[in-house]
Every structure is written in structure tokens, then in C-alpha cells.
């Protein structure tokens, strides 16, 4: 048992270690059970892994998953079991497999394989480490693809020359990881960028990953990576997305919807982009409201987006402004605001000064 394997193991939640130990014991000495992918990567980097992917070789996955007594959703085609852990998180238990791509861009076909095959089929070396858990809980780190040294160097390298051609979504996954973890692109990644772009339209998973990018902690930084790598065409509006990152850094919460709306604003043709990303109607509707002259209070998504996209947009007068101009509290305030809204809609007032002048005129007319 190496100190590193033990160290990685100790990053896991105690209840997750207990579940994994039980799985390995249940699988027995002829099988191999390993924690793989992002969980091992994150443990190495010092983040507590919460999202567990487990590979089993030489065991019957469904039986193994059900032995814990936890709720299981089993997908026979992929020999993949989703187990709901006691605290509600989902963990994936999958049969070790090789993959072939009969049609590049489409889902691969799974074939039974060894644990090593399963590591070789993955996206990046840093995601291809396995922490083996023996039947007596002995731990071994399996580094089939040189992932450790690349984790230390903080680089992302695809595992073979046709990686991005077969699965172009890896380009977007790479940008998400690079921005989130501060990793750099290996020259081999950059060499494969054109392959991914050529396949993008035929790779539904790429658009799923791009939508996930909008839910990263700092989507603007991830979009910037895509641009730096020569793939800026996948997501327009990097400057605005980065502007939203800056607002978030300053403590303003920004939802994925808001990021999506900003990207749509930058798109030459927003309708197909919204469709490809599966955004639904809400980001487009948010964008329309943000670009309108309707009043929205400070801190609302409409106002945040308007401040970004139309920094010179006049800020309409509010009830407080109307009170400050001497209107008594009560229905008169609402009437004055309604009057201003009407003028705004008719295009008669275009600035804060014009709003004030129009209100002054309205109040004077009222007095006479
Ligand atoms: N197109 C893909 C998707 C996933 N994987 C592999 O499956 C693992 C788990 O996938 P996922 O949970 O999507 O990614 P993580 O690496 O765990 O990253 P995240 O923190 O974003 O979940 C990855 O680490 C990687 O080994 C892959 O090779 N190719
Ligand atoms: Mg994950």
C-alpha cells in the first residue's frame, strides 16, 4: 500500500470509503474494483471527491450494486448501475469496458474489457488514474496512462491521436477542466482542436458539455480557454461571459441562465444556438427583458444583464425618486410611475434627465 494511495483514499468521505470497502469485499478476490476518473484526480488535487465513478472487472455489476441494499437504477446495455448513496448523491458503478466508435461523434459501443482497457478509453491522462480497492481493503494506485506526472505538471493530454475526432466533446470537457483547475493544454490537445471543430455539428455530446460549461463556477474563464485554443466559434460572447465572472468574483450571484442569455446576445443567430445547447426559452426571454426599457430593481438578473450589455441604458425613476420629488406617498406615486412608463414605451423619454423633466412637467400640470 503506497503512501500516495492511502493519502488519496483519505480524501474520501468516511461513508464513501465504507461503501467502497463493502463493494470490494463483495466482489471477491477474482474481481477488481477501482475508483476512477474525476474522483481520483480531485483527491490528488486536494478536493474532496463527491462524485464517485467506480469500475468493476470480473464481477456482475447489477448483483454487486444491489448487494449494498441501496437504491439502484441498472442500465443493461452499458452494464452500468447508478446507486443512490444514503445522503442522496448518485454514484456510478460500471463494468470495465473497451469502446469502439462505429460512427464518430455518436455514442461508442461498449465491449467487456479489463480495467486497463477502461482507463485507455478515457479522455485525458489526468482522468485515467484508478485507485484499486482489494477485497481486504488494500489499496493500489494504477497509473496506466502516465496520469500522475501530468497531474503534477497540470497538463491535459488526449490519450490517442483520434481522441477528439471520435469524441469532440472532449475539447469542451478539456476547457472546463483547464479553467476550473488551472491546467494547460498539451501540444497534442491543441493539434486535435481542428478535428473536434470538424466533428462538432455531428457530436450531440459536445453541446451537452457546452451547456454544462455554463454551470461551471467561472464559465467566462472556460469560454476563454476555448477561444485561446482556437475554438472560440463554439461559444460567442467571451468578453461578456468574463464580465459576468468578474461580477461573480465581486459577490453578485450569476445564474447559468444569465450566462446563457449573454452568449445568445453575442450569437449571430441565437435561435439555432439556443436549440443546440438545449437552453429552452428562458434565457432568450431574459435577454429580451434585459434589453427592454422596462424597470427592474437592482440585483435582478434583468438589471445585471442590462448593466453589462447596455451600460449606458437610462436607469428609470423609481417610487423613491418620485417621492423625493415631492409626490405624497399613496396612489399618486403609482400614477406618476405609470405616466413615465407610458412615455418610455412611446419613445418620448430616453434618459434619466428626460425622465426627471417629464415628471416635473406632469407634477406641474397636476397642480394647475
Ligand atoms: N467524454 C468523456 C466523458 C467522461 N470520460 C471519463 O469519465 C470520467 C467521469 O466523467 P465526468 O463525471 O463527466 O467527469 P469528471 O472527470 O468526473 O469531471 P467533473 O468534475 O466535471 O464531474 C472522466 O474523468 C473521464 O475519465 C471520458 O473519458 N470521456
Ligand atoms: Mg464527475
Going by alpha carbons, the residue nearest to atom 23 of ligand 1 is: 37
Encode pLDDT of 113-170 as tens digits. 999 999 999 999 999 999 999 999 999 999 999 999 999 999 999 999 999 999 999 9
Q: What's phi and psi for 327, nearest 5 deg?
A: -75, 130
DSSP 56-87: EESS-HHHHHHTT-S-EEEEGGGTEEEEE-TT
DSSP 165-194: HH-THHHHHHHHHHHHHT-EE-HHHHHHHH
- Quote the cell numbers at residue 363: 407634477
* Residue 257 pLDDT greater than 90, yes or no: yes
C-alpha pair distances (Å), 143 with each of 166, 185, 345, 364: 23, 20, 65, 80
Indicate if ligand 1 lies below 6 Å from the C-beta of 216.
Answer: no
Overall size of the chain counted in residues: 368
User: What gap in Å lies between CA 207 and CA 332, rounded to an integer?
Assistant: 51
User: What gap in Å lies between CA 261 and CA 17, rounded to an integer?
Assistant: 41
Q: What is the ipTM of this complex?
A: 0.98
Indicate if ligand 1 lies below 6 Å from the C-beta of 209.
Answer: no
Å from CA of 38 to ligand 2 middle: 5
Encode pLDDT of 308-323 as tens digits. 998 877 777 888 888 9
Q: Considering the domain 3-153 in this protein, what is its CATH number?
A: 3.30.460.10
User: What gap in Å lies between CA 195 and CA 188, rounded to an integer?
Assistant: 12
Going from N- to C-terminal start, the domains of the chain cover 3-153, 155-235, 237-313, 319-367
Indicate if ligand 1 lies below 6 Å from the C-beta of 144.
Answer: no
- Considering the chain, what is the average pLDDT of its residues? 94
Q: Class of the 155-235 domain?
A: mainly alpha
Cβ atoms of residues 114 and 144 within 8 Å: no
Amino acid at each position: 500500500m503506497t503512501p500516495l494511495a492511502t493519502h488519496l483514499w483519505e480524501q474520501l468521505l468516511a461513508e464513501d470509503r465504507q461503501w467502497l470497502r463493502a463493494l470490494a469485499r463483495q466482489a471477491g478476490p477474482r474481481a477488481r474494483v477501482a475508483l476512477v476518473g474525476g474522483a481520483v484526480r480531485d483527491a490528488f488535487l486536494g478536493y474532496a471527491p463527491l462524485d464517485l465513478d467506480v469500475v468493476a472487472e470480473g464481477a456482475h455489476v447489477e448483483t454487486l450494486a444491489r448487494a449494498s441494499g441501496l437504491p439502484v437504477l441498472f442500465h443493461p446495455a452499458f452494464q452500468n448501475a447508478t446507486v443512490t448513496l444514503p445522503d442522496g448523491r448518485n454514484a456510478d458503478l460500471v463494468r470495465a469496458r473497451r469502446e469502439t466508435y462505429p460512427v464518430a461523434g455518436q455514442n461508442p459501443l461498449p465491449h467487456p474489457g479489463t480495467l486497463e482497457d477502461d482507463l485507455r478509453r478515457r479522455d485525458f491522462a489526468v482522468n485515467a488514474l484508478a485507485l484499486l480497492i482489494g477485497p481486504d481493503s488494500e489499496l493500489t494506485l494504477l497509473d496506466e496512462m502516465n496520469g500522475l506526472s501530468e497531474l503534477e505538471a497540470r497538463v491535459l493530454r488526449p490519450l490517442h491521436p483520434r481522441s477528439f475526432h471520435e469524441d469532440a466533446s472532449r475539447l469542451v470537457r478539456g476547457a472546463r477542466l483547464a479553467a476550473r483547475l488551472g491546467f494547460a493544454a498539451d501540444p497534442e490537445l491543441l493539434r486535435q482542436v481542428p478535428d473536434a471543430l470538424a466533428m462538432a455539428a455531428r457530436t450531440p455530446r459536445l453541446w451537452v458539455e457546452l451547456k454544462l460549461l455554463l454551470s461551471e463556477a467561472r464559465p467566462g474563464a472556460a469560454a476563454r480557454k476555448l477561444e485561446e485554443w482556437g475554438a472560440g466559434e463554439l461559444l460567442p460572447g467571451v468578453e461578456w461571459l468574463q464580465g459576468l465572472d468578474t461580477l461573480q468574483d465581486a459577490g453578485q450571484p450569476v445564474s447559468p441562465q444569465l450566462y446563457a442569455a449573454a452568449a445568445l446576445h453575442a450569437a449571430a443567430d441565437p435561435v439555432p444556438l439556443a436549440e443546440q445547447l438545449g437552453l429552452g426559452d428562458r434565457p432568450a426571454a431574459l435577454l429580451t427583458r434585459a434589453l427592454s426599457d422596462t424597470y427592474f430593481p437592482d440585483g435582478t438578473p434583468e438589471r445585471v444583464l442590462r448593466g453589462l450589455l447596455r451600460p449606458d441604458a437610462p436607469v428609470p425613476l423609481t417610487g423613491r425618486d418620485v417621492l423625493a420629488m415631492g409626490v405624497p406617498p399613496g396612489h399618486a406615486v403609482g400614477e406618476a410611475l405609470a405616466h413615465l412608463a407610458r412615455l418610455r414605451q412611446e419613445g418620448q423619454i430616453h434618459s434619466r434627465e428626460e425622465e426627471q423633466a417629464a415628471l416635473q412637467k406632469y407634477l406641474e400640470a397636476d397642480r394647475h
